[in-house]
């Protein structure tokens, strides 16, 4: 869901940025290290502790055999990302080890983790991670999570299906994420945003698309979105703001502001530049 935090956690351990990691939603996970390993946590602050002591976010962490890493009270955000040096091992489907819960593919038997599962890591064949090489996240990249309840959008392919009044209402209104939301889509409660055409021939759907349903409700397509959709796509959340959207949860209230495609491209370049320069040596 939050690809920026996933990449950051892996960069802290000098992994490939797409190395298989764990996505932890809200709380409740406890892991025991059966051998010494190095991990890093990015994203939401879920009060991670080892031996009952809070551990730092955004830097490498050494675990000894027998150590238990626990996530409990949510402080901010909704999803934390735990990377391990070398990456976790998982079932690969179509070139990806990510878990698809709806289809039951990838990861660990295509399902969420459960008590008693054993996780294995891929062994690295060079340079062991040592405290003198401990890396941390600089402040520049964290600014991309600022103002989390305002998401920037560009006009979608069916923006012209909105009347002037509906378009004005869309940008002036506040929407609330419903409890029925999931990894497929956030359904939004708020004023009715009606379109002049209610349905269309199904066409490709991208992550971040805002679909307008016939009843005037909106849905924001998230990481596990369907590949095609038959409802008007009035706007699309820009790539730079999608990590912010991924850290929201039911009950949060959000607003949308419009930017140009040029501004969206510039924001993405700025974020990538900050990411490249965000990792520093803690020595």
* Residue ranges per structural domain of the chain: 3-137, 145-276
Q: What number is the average pLDDT over the span 118-141? A: 70
Q: How many CA atoms lie within 13 A of 153 on its CB side?
A: 27
Q: What pLDDT does 118 receive?
A: 96
What is the architecture of the domain spanning 145-276? Answer: Beta Barrel (2.40)
Those residues whose C-beta lies under 8 Å from the C-beta of residue 142, and which sit 6 or more positions away, are none
253: left (phi > 0), else alpha (psi -120 to 50), else beta? beta
pLDDT > 70? residue 133: no
Q: What pLDDT does 253 receive?
A: 97
Cα torsion for 156, 209, 203, 167, to the nearest 10°?
-40
Strands (E) in 85-143, as ranges, are 135-137
Contact, 5 vs 243, CB < 8 A?
Answer: yes
pLDDT tier at 277, thresholds 50, 70, 90:
confident
Contact, 250 vs 181, CB < 8 A?
Answer: yes
Q: What pLDDT does 132 receive?
A: 43
120-159 exposure pattern, b = at least 16 Cβ within 10 A, e = fewer: ebeeeeeeebeeeebbbbeeebeebbeebeebbbbbbbbb
């Amino acid at each position: 869901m939050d690809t920026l935090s996933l990449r950051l956690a892996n960069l802290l351990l000098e992994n490939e940025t797409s190395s298989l990691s764990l996505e932890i939603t809200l709380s409740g996970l406890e892991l025991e290290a059966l051998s010494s390993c190095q991990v890093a946590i990015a994203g939401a602050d879920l009060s991670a502790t080892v031996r009952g002591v809070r551990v730092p976010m955004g830097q490498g962490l050494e675990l000894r055999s027998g150590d238990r890493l626990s996530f409990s009270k949510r402080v901010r955000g909704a999803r934390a990302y735990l990377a391990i040096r070398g990456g976790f091992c998982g079932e690969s489907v179509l070139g990806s080890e990510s878990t698809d819960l709806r289809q039951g593919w990838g990861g660990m038997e295509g399902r969420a983790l459960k008590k008693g599962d054993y996780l294995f890591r891929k062994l690295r064949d060079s340079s062991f991670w040592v405290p003198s090489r401990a890396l941390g996240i600089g402040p520049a990249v964290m600014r991309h999570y600022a103002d989390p309840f305002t998401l920037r959008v560009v006009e979608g392919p069916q923006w012209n299906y909105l009347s002037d009044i509906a378009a004005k209402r869309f940008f002036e209104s506040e929407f609330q994420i419903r409890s029925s939301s999931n990894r497929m889509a956030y359904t939004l409660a708020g004023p009715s945003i009606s379109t002049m055409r209610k349905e269309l021939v199904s066409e490709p759907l991208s992550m971040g698309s805002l679909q307008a349903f016939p009843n005037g409700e909106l849905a924001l397509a998230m990481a596990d979105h369907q590949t095609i959709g038959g409802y008007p796509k009035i706007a699309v959340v820009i790539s730079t703001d999608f990590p912010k959207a991924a850290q929201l949860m039911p009950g949060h209230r959000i607003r949308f502001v419009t930017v140009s495609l040029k501004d969206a491209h510039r924001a993405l370049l700025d974020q990538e530049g900050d990411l490249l320069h965000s990792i520093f040596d803690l020595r």
